[in-house]
Structure 1
Amino acid sequence: MNTAYGVVAIALVCLVTLAVGSFGLRLSRTTSDFYVAGRTVTPYRNASAIGGEYLSAASFLGIAGLVYTNGLDMLWFPVGYTVGYVVLLVLVAAPLRRSGAYTLPDFAEARLESLAIRRLSTILVVGIGWLYLLPQLQGASLALEAVTGAPGWLGGLVVAVVVVANVAAGGMRSITLVQALQYWVKLTAIAVPAFVLLGAWFSDGAPGPAIARDTRWEEPLNGLAGQGHPVYATYSLLLALALGTMGLPHVLVRFYTNPDGRAARRTTLTVVALLGTFYLFPPLYGLLGRVYLPQLPDGVAADTLVLRLPMAMVSDGLGQVLAAVLAGGAFAAFLSTASGLTMSVAGVIDQDLLRRRLGRLTGEDFSAAQGFRLATVLAVVVPYVASRVVEPVGLATMVSLAFAVAASTFCPLLVLGSWWRGLSTSGAAAGLVVGGTLATAAVGITVLAGPVPGWPGALLGQPAAWSIPLAFAVSVIVSLATPGRIPRHTARTMVRLHTPEDLVLERG
């Protein structure tokens, strides 16, 4: 492959990202600008930004690789990713915006009136954010290596440097502009080559080569058979994806940028449409891969299929251009998702772990910008180092594990906290600890120990089906047993979460 095309495409995406981010720097003046873009982002721009950060390495490269390797069952991934926003819309989008919080720990403290709950939420936000950042940095390394032959450490480093520069410069205002643009970059980059490749498949008015028959690839409930008990694994995966979305810190922080709860709902509806449009294309690459690349060379990851397919289907010159376009789109995916994750993790590190302690140690007052920028560096350096140490598990697989942890912790907290007055501080803490410990242990064993046979392997590989109900049950049971630990101002907080802003303004 002509590496010059790929280098130019990737460099162009990085330069445009930095240019748009620098424009956002001029708009960032206050703490609210840094954390929630002044709460003035319109629904359609916010929806584009959410689509930009949500469509990650797993979406751009991982789904095609999974469909290619494991068959049509992997279509549940894009279905689950999109359904998660429907659940978010119905249950928590508007209450989250009305809470007036900057971060998820802010919401937890406001609802439960407890610093201990805030600290637990802080630890979980940082952990989930780093777990989700790992595949973004690993995917960037895979993409750059596949397109240019660069060493494995370079792709992740490029993403880390660009993200730190953008996030530290302008905070949420910069990131909103960058991510809104990058959604459309990604959609164009994946759609245009797809139509060209389809045209090559059906050239001269006749269908191209047929897909090789493969019972395991075609028949339902075989895609997750490698984990054992595919029916359980499939339903557990869907549960993790549908309920995990509301527990992802980089997704939730975007809803704090809407002007009001009604705008938050409109944002979510638009997001569903944007995601549905994008997810039409990755499975197509997996399908075409089965036709034109039935066997990848030894040592080549299936996650690189999207980048290799154009060269296998069309002439060298056109194939190189299409591969470069896809490489640029993939880097846009890494940059936008990593930016959102870094933004959410850095905000929590700054507010809860860094600025106050540094001030006490040095005797100086750190401004919002100073603390936030230092936190941004920490938010990226740790997962980058881990990405060089931890072996890649598969982009979509790693992301699904992050969803399982998020669904087992923040989903019970947000749903019960938004809708049940009886949630006590002890119940919320117990649910976070139990769900977080069980899901994190399952993820750790899966990543470090590799596949485990039989039911233990299925339960550890897809823990959501048992860890989420347990977390809900523990939260409810402990809350019922500790009615004295229900926060004093619960009634007032619940009114604020569910009272439309228009009514509040009229009464005021």
Structure 2
Amino acid sequence: MNPAIGYLAIAAVAVTSALIGFYGLRVSRTTSDFYVASRTVRPWWNASAIGGEYLSAASFLGIAGLILLTGASGLWFPIGYTAGYLMLLLFVAAPLRRSGAYTLPDFTEARLESTWARRVTSTLVIIIGWFYIVPQLQGAALTVRITTGLPAWAGSLAVALIVAVVVAAGGMRSITFVQAFQYWLKLTALAIPVVAILLLIGDTQPALPPDVAFPATAGPGDLEVYHTVSLMVALLLGTLGLPHVLVRFYTNPDGVAARRTTLIVLALLSVFYLFPTAFGLLGRAFAPDLAGSGDADALVLLLPGRLVPGPLGEVLTALVIAGAFGAFLSTSSGLVVSLAGVISQDMLGGSVRGFRIAAVLSSFVPLVVSLATEPAGLAGSVGLVFAFTASTLCPVLLLGIWWRGLTARGAIAGMLTGATLSGVAILGGGMISGWAGTLRPFLEQPAAWTVPIAVLVTVLVSLGDRGRIPRGTDAFLTRLHVPEAPATRG
């Protein structure tokens, strides 16, 4: 691969994102602009921005790599990622927007009337956000190493720097413009190469015969039942607790707009996931050697140049590189915005200056972690973050919206239980051996048992603490569930 292609593509995305972000700076003036874009983001624009930040390194690179490695079994990931938004539509989107909160910790404090519930929620949001950013930075490191020959750390550093500058400069309103652009960039960057490859491969013979690349017995059902169920629990429920996703619903004008935004997002995600899936299937047939070389996550970057030689192949490769870098920037930006809002409100007084300091801190802590750890598969790494989120924030969010009996003690007990169990499982999954190896499937995919235990603990502790149900619960729940009049343009 010609390194100049990588340099030009990465530079083009970085400069364009920075220019759009600084345009957003011109209209970011108030504290509300920085935290929730003054709650004026319309559904189509907001849906594009959500697509931009949600479609991370795991979606752009990791799904194709996973399908290359495992075949049709890898299809559970795009199914789960998309279906998670259906859960948001049904149970969370409109009530969360009506809560009037800026951040998820704001919501738990208002719902439970507890400073300690807020502190625990804030800590979990920060942990989840930082560990979600790490795979984005590692994906950037892989892309820079493969496409330019530069040291891997240069990619991680570049993304951290760009995100810190853009978020600190313009906050949520600025990032909304950037992420909406990056969704359409990512979609274009995958769709055009897939269509071109399908039109131009002609008589090119696959490296594997079809019956070997796609055996008749292969499919999602081949996954061991527990593993499949646990993965889907993690992806479906983990989406509900992702801080950078939830903060987006606070930017809608009203609950009706929040629901409409979610419907549009479902359509955008469904269209997008057709193309990494196609890349994975093409790679399994035409580039199976990448599965054994350790570069499965680089399939999307390498396949256009292999199957479409010459200048056109270089143009397609440049487009894919640009889309990949856009994925790292947009998801990292959304996470940093949500983390900066929490850190600023809880530790730095909630000012614009505090937001900017928090944005820099939120960018560079994950950078240190990504440089100090070995990268794992992108889709698998993000899947573990979903499992942790499903076990901690999701139960409190759902019960807080739909169950009057939730108390602060119950919420804290449930969050700490879920964090402890899922954290120990994730850390221990790769460390056990010998007879204990029979436990590995339950540790590598823990959501199927950690989520029910966390919910049970939350409910039981709350039932034993019924005398401490907040006095304002009924009024708060009424506000969450009674539709308000749609916002009108001023």
TM-score (norm 1): 0.92
Q: Which residue of 2 aligns with 1:252?
A: 246
**Secondary structure of 2:212 counterpart:** coil
How big is each residue's C-alpha offset from its partner over 1:285-316, in whole Å with a ceiling of 9 and x where there is no partner?
Answer: 11111222121286542100111111221213
Count of residue pairs the alignment pairs up: 487
**Secondary structure of 1:312 counterpart:** helix
Q: Is the 8 A contact 1:144 1:155 kept in 2?
A: yes
Q: What percentage of aligned pairs have identical amino acids?
A: 56
Q: Is the 8 A contact 2:76 2:220 kept in 1?
A: no
Distance 1:98 1:168 in 2: 27
Distance 1:396 1:296 in 2: 16
- 1:69 is the counterpart of 2:69: yes
Q: Which residue of 1 aligns with 2:138?
A: 138
Residues 484, 459 of structure 1: CA spacing in aligned structure 2 closer, same or farther, 3 A cutoff?
same
Distance 1:394 1:305 in 2: 12
Residues 188, 33 of structure 1: CA spacing in aligned structure 2 closer, same or farther, 3 A cutoff?
same
Q: Which residue of 1 aligns with 2:11?
A: 11
Residues 434, 198 of structure 1: CA spacing in aligned structure 2 closer, same or farther, 3 A cutoff?
same
Residues 381, 220 of structure 1: CA spacing in aligned structure 2 closer, same or farther, 3 A cutoff?
same
Distance 1:313 1:336 in 2: 29
Residues 104, 217 of structure 1: CA spacing in aligned structure 2 closer, same or farther, 3 A cutoff?
farther
Give the counterpart letter for 2:43 in structure 1: P
Find 2:308's aligned residue among 305, 314, 321.
Answer: 314
- 1:94 is the counterpart of 2:94: yes
Q: Which residue of 2 aligns with 1:395?
A: 378
How big is each residue's C-alpha offset from its partner over 1:193-232, in whole Å with a ceiling of 9 and x where there is no partner?
Answer: 000111123x26x9867436157795135775xxxxx211
How big is each residue's C-alpha offset from its partner over 1:78-115, in whole Å with a ceiling of 9 and x where there is no partner?
Answer: 00000000001100111100000000000000000000
**Secondary structure of 1:28 counterpart:** coil
Trace 1:414-493 onto structure 2 (pairs within 5 A).
Answer: 414-446=397-429, 454-493=437-476
Give the counterpart letter for 2:301 in structure 1: L
**Secondary structure of 2:301 counterpart:** helix
**Secondary structure of 1:296 counterpart:** helix
Find 2:356's aligned residue among 358, 368, 373.
Answer: 373
Find 2:257's aligned residue among 259, 263, 269.
Answer: 263
Q: Is the 8 A contact 1:72 1:223 kept in 2?
A: no
Distance 1:262 1:496 in 2: 14
Find 1:411's aligned residue among 376, 389, 394.
Answer: 394
Q: Is the 8 A contact 1:435 1:467 kept in 2?
A: yes
How big is each residue's C-alpha offset from its partner over 1:324-372, in whole Å with a ceiling of 9 and x where there is no partner?
Answer: 110100000000000000111111111112x14xxxxxxxxxx722111
Q: Which residue of 2 aligns with 1:227?
A: none
Trace 1:126-165 onto structure 2 (pairs within 5 A).
Answer: 126-165=126-165
Give the counterpart letter for 1:369 in structure 2: V
Give the counterpart letter for 2:270 in structure 1: G
Distance 2:243 2:269 in 1: 18
Q: Is the 8 A contact 1:44 1:270 kept in 2?
A: yes
Higher mean C-alpha displacement, 496-505 vs 244-253 = 496-505
**Secondary structure of 1:279 counterpart:** helix
Q: Which residue of 2 aligns with 1:108?
A: 108
**Secondary structure of 1:281 counterpart:** helix
Residues 99, 72 of structure 1: CA spacing in aligned structure 2 closer, same or farther, 3 A cutoff?
same
Distance 2:392 2:272 in 1: 28
Q: Is the 8 A contact 1:71 1:223 kept in 2?
A: no
Give the counterpart letter for 1:84 in structure 2: G
Deviation at 1:27, TM superposition (A): 0.7
Q: Is the 8 A contact 1:43 1:263 kept in 2?
A: yes
Trace 1:196-207 onto structure 2 (pairs within 5 A).
Answer: 196-201=196-201, 203=202
Residues 217, 425 of structure 1: CA spacing in aligned structure 2 closer, same or farther, 3 A cutoff?
farther
Residues 450, 49 of structure 1: CA spacing in aligned structure 2 closer, same or farther, 3 A cutoff?
farther
Deviation at 1:503, TM superposition (A): 9.3
Q: Is the 8 A contact 2:71 2:284 kept in 1?
A: no
Q: Is the 8 A contact 1:122 1:348 kept in 2?
A: yes
Distance 1:187 1:352 in 2: 36
Q: Which residue of 1 aligns with 2:210?
A: 211
Q: Is the 8 A contact 2:244 2:334 kept in 1?
A: yes
Find 1:328's aligned residue among 305, 315, 322.
Answer: 322
**Secondary structure of 2:485 counterpart:** helix
Residues 90, 455 of structure 1: CA spacing in aligned structure 2 closer, same or farther, 3 A cutoff?
farther
**Secondary structure of 1:500 counterpart:** coil
Residues 252, 150 of structure 1: CA spacing in aligned structure 2 closer, same or farther, 3 A cutoff?
same
Deviation at 1:5, TM superposition (A): 1.5
Distance 1:407 1:285 in 2: 29
**Secondary structure of 2:234 counterpart:** helix
Unaligned runs of 5+ in 2: none
Q: Which residue of 1 aligns with 2:48?
A: 48
Q: Is the 8 A contact 1:212 1:291 kept in 2?
A: no
Residues 218, 288 of structure 1: CA spacing in aligned structure 2 closer, same or farther, 3 A cutoff?
farther
Q: Which residue of 1 aligns with 2:480?
A: 497
Q: Is the 8 A contact 1:147 1:324 kept in 2?
A: no
Find 1:235's aligned residue among 224, 229, 232.
Answer: 229
Q: Which residue of 1 aligns with 2:118?
A: 118
Q: Which residue of 1 aligns with 2:20?
A: 20
Q: Is the 8 A contact 1:217 1:223 kept in 2?
A: no
Distance 2:430 2:35 in 1: 33
Deviation at 1:187, TM superposition (A): 0.3
Aligned-residue CA RMSD in angstroms? 2.1
How big is each residue's C-alpha offset from its partner over 1:432-486, in whole Å with a ceiling of 9 and x where there is no partner?
Answer: 1111111122222246779997441111110110011111111111111110121
Trace 1:335-374 onto structure 2 (pairs within 5 A).
Answer: 335-353=329-347, 355-356=348-349, 368-374=351-357
How big is each residue's C-alpha offset from its partner over 1:131-187, in whole Å with a ceiling of 9 and x where there is no partner?
Answer: 100100000000111111110100011101110111000000000000011100000
Higher mean C-alpha displacement, 102-111 vs 442-451 = 442-451
Give the counterpart letter for 1:254 in structure 2: R
TM-score (norm 2): 0.95
Distance 1:453 1:222 in 2: 26
Give the counterpart letter for 1:413 in structure 2: V
Residues 297, 431 of structure 1: CA spacing in aligned structure 2 closer, same or farther, 3 A cutoff?
closer
Q: Which residue of 2 aligns with 1:385?
A: 368
Q: Is the 8 A contact 1:408 1:435 kept in 2?
A: yes
Unaligned runs of 5+ in 1: 225-229, 357-366
Distance 1:352 1:388 in 2: 28
Residues 259, 349 of structure 1: CA spacing in aligned structure 2 closer, same or farther, 3 A cutoff?
same
Distance 1:452 1:217 in 2: 34
Find 2:267's aligned residue among 259, 269, 273.
Answer: 273
Residues 414, 450 of structure 1: CA spacing in aligned structure 2 closer, same or farther, 3 A cutoff?
farther
Q: Is the 8 A contact 1:51 1:271 kept in 2?
A: yes
Q: Is the 8 A contact 1:72 1:217 kept in 2?
A: no
**Secondary structure of 1:71 counterpart:** helix
How big is each residue's C-alpha offset from its partner over 1:20-68, in whole Å with a ceiling of 9 and x where there is no partner?
Answer: 0000001111111000000000011000000000000000000000000
Distance 1:399 1:411 in 2: 16
